[in-house]
């Protein structure tokens, strides 16, 4: 087998990239393949980012790929260029060859873009990937430096029991008149987050204009007793650009599926998909709650649940960090949890070992 030849991807690689994603699933107790048909690049085009997609050619096909999404964001108390590293896929039989050029690719990326501070998410149960990327070895001295930012969990609220309202906090769809206050809340929040988004520079307006199927009606706004906006969240179905196909249930997920499907048969909610079929789901995203108020967050969850229940979806998902007080708002919901970790990534030539703590600008809907 020949060594790979790394290069920048083009639109002509669309079919090969779709095949690669189908052939290299994410492995854990739940084995998932990401489906991006018909346009692999659509998920990048809908974002306010500069996408840099590298692929490795070898033996007549693509043996691996990875993506950097560049944008302006908040870090260390100021606006600067930051990047998210994602969509790392390598065919199993070529992983060692990929590792040989990954460090050089990353150094070249930093030089090319003028950005040397990135973040990425790794599935906690995928120990092979974590060890390969984060454990340093003498033979891979140019390997990028990974430093743990914080653990987090992708929470999936299952759309099972009949919806009920548990707080008296009013929640309704945003109106055009609400947009300034919604934007101000998101901006104030993200300004304090490492890798926060610039909602002061048209980020929400861009999302409303470019996310497929997303409109102002999907923006949920909570208000306090004075009528001021105190919380916001959006409901968005990513089906046009990203879907998850189940390849296998392993470990504890085998028992979860059996129990869930047994209850679904009796109570008439959607069963979990069989291998070879896709989850039907939505995201709760663009979430910001003033002061982290658990009661307000619960009101937003209640409204999202009410709107999505009975639509044929299995669940809606969002991320919560370890120790986040908003975990208390999940009481009474049936949830599934998938643990991840966020890492800061810097070049081996300039490793960063200390990062700000607390919630980040990570948006699981865009990962």
pLDDT tens profile 196-242: 999 999 999 999 999 999 999 999 999 999 999 999 999 999 999 99
Could you please report the per-residue DSSP string of 23-73?
HS-B-SSEEEEEE-TT-TTHHHHTSSSEEEEEEEEETTEEEEEEEEEEEEE
Q: How far is CA 171 from the centre of its chain?
A: 25
CB count in 10 Å sphere of residue 303: 23
Specify the pLDDT at position 36.
95
Is 85 found in the same domain as 23?
yes
Is 172 found in the same domain as 86?
no
Q: Which secondary structure element, helix H or strand E, spans residue 254, and what is its range?
A: helix 252-267
Query: Has residue 78 got a pLDDT over 60?
Result: yes
pLDDT tens for each residue of 309-342: 999 999 999 999 988 999 999 999 999 998 999 9
Range of the domain at 63: 5-151+341-366
Is 211 found in the same domain as 104?
no
Which residues make Cβ contacts (< 8 Å) with residue 122, sequence separation at least 6?
129, 130, 133, 340, 341, 343
Is 362 found in the same domain as 240?
no
CB count in 10 Å sphere of residue 253: 19
Is 334 found in the same domain as 345?
no
Is 320 found in the same domain as 362?
no
Q: Confidence class of residue 147 from pLDDT cuts 50, 70 and 90?
A: very high
- Of all residues in the chain, the percent with pLDDT exceeding 90 is 74
Query: Has residue 57 got a pLDDT over 90?
Result: no
Is 208 found in the same domain as 298?
yes
Query: Has residue 288 got a pLDDT over 90?
Result: yes
Is 227 found in the same domain as 132?
no
CA nearest to 359, candidates 325, 332, 330, 333: 325
Query: What is the mean pLDDT of the segment spanning 38-63?
Result: 90
As for how many domains the chain has, the answer is: 2
Is 330 found in the same domain as 191?
yes
Q: Can you give the CATH number for the domain in which 110 is found?
A: 3.40.630.30
């Amino acid at each position: 087998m020949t060594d790979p030849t790394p290069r920048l991807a083009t639109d002509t690689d669309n079919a090969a990239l779709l095949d690669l994603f189908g052939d290299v699933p994410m492995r854990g107790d739940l084995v998932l393949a990401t489906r991006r048909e018909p346009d692999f690049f659509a998920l990048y085009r809908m974002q306010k980012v500069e996408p840099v997609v590298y692929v490795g050619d070898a033996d007549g096909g693509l043996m691996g790929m990875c993506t950097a999404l560049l944008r302006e964001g908040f870090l260390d108390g100021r606006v600067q260029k930051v990047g998210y590293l994602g969509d790392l896929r390598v065919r199993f039989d070529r992983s060692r060859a990929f590792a040989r050029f990954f460090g050089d690719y990353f150094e070249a990326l930093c030089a090319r873009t003028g950005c040397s501070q990135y973040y990425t998410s790794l599935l906690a149960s995928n120990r092979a990937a974590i060890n390969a990327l984060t454990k340093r070895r003498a033979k891979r001295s140019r390997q990028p430096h990974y430093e743990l930012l914080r653990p987090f969990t992708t929470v999936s609220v299952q759309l099972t029991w009949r919806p009920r309202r548990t707080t008296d906090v009013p929640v309704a769809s945003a109106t055009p008149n609400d947009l300034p206050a919604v934007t101000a809340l998101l901006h104030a929040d993200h300004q304090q987050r490492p890798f926060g988004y610039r909602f002061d520079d048209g980020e929400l307006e861009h999302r409303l204009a470019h996310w497929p199927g997303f409109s102002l009606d999907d923006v949920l706004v909570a208000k306090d007793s004075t009528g001021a906006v105190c919380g916001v969240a959006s409901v968005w179905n990513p089906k046009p650009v990203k879907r998850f196909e189940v390849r296998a249930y392993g470990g504890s997920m085998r028992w979860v599926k059996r129990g869930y499907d047994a209850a679904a048969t009796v109570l008439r909610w959607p069963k979990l998909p069989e291998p070879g079929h896709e989850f039907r789901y939505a995201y709760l995203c663009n979430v910001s709650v003033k002061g982290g108020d658990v009661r307000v967050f619960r009101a937003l969850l209640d409204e999202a649940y009410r709107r999505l229940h009975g639509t044929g979806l299995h669940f809606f998902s969002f991320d919560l960090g370890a120790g986040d007080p908003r975990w208390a708002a999940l009481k009474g919901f049936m949830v599934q949890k998938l643990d991840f970790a966020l890492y800061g990534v810097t070049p081996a030539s300039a490793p960063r070992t200390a990062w700000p703590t607390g919630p980040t600008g990570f948006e699981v809907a865009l990962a």
